[in-house]
Amino acid sequence: MAPNVSLQRRKRQPDAKRDIENLRKEFLMQEKQQKKQQEKEQKKQQEKERKKQQNKERSALLAKERCKRYYENKKQKKMAAEAVAANLQLNGGASTSTVDTFPEVRDCLCVSHYGEKMDERAVLFLKIRDGYSFTDELVSKIREAIARELTIRHVPDVILETKDIPYNINGKKMEIIVKKIINNKPYNAETVKNPESLKYFQNVPELNGF
């Protein structure tokens, strides 16, 4: 029996070696596949991070462009409002604007009005002569005349009627005080010749919600 057992053992040895070799190859193959899968996942994650970074940079660039456009528009609006105020103000009762050519208008005053986000617009106040009325037709004619004789950018954003316009004791129009009133800023009315006129610029409904 001993020789047969020894013979059987010798026969099994090559089989065992083959099994071990096959297991080793299988293990190496699995290890290789696992490594490839890890590399694939790593590349996938890197690509995901790269796209995420690109989107982040793109969003930052778009935000920068929007911010730039916002401030450019804000600057243009401010320049336009200042230009309107400069061209439509009446100094010392002498007309220096297109508005004075209208027989319906006895006096006028143009100031800047600021919104909640500090956007700026020009507001033109008209004091109408006795016998005339403040109408949409008059407002349209004034807008057209300003656009024609100056530029479209000089047209006020808002045109309103007022019963009176404040002056100081030297006969100068008080634009600064009116500007402070409509923008809810503190002001000093000591130098105003007709302080009762200031009430017409307080809590103007048409200027709310800007």
Instruction: Enumerate the H helices of 89-113 as residue ranges.
Output: none
Nearest-angstrom CA–CA distance, 197 and 143: 25
pLDDT at 115: 87
Per-domain residue ranges for the chain?
20-89, 99-207
Nearest to 187 by CA among 86, 123, 111, 135: 111
Sheet containing strand 120-128, strands side by side: 105-114, 120-128, 158-161
Nearest-angstrom CA–CA distance, 97 and 91: 10
pLDDT at 87: 53
pLDDT at 94: 32
Query: In sequence order, what are the beta bridge partners of 125?
Result: 109, 160
Tokens at 5, concatenated? 């057992």
Nearest to 127 by CA among 173, 193, 170: 173
Domain 99-207 sits in CATH at 3.30.300.30
Nearest-angstrom CA–CA distance, 103 and 81: 25
Q: Look up residue 130 and give its amino acid.
A: D
Digit-by-digit pLDDT tens for the chain (210 residues) are: 555 555 555 555 666 777 778 888 888 888 888 888 888 888 888 888 888 888 888 888 888 888 888 778 777 766 766 665 555 443 333 333 688 889 999 999 999 899 887 788 889 999 999 999 999 999 999 999 988 888 888 888 999 999 999 999 999 999 999 999 999 999 999 999 999 999 999 999 999 887
164 and 200 in contact (C-beta within 8 Å)? yes
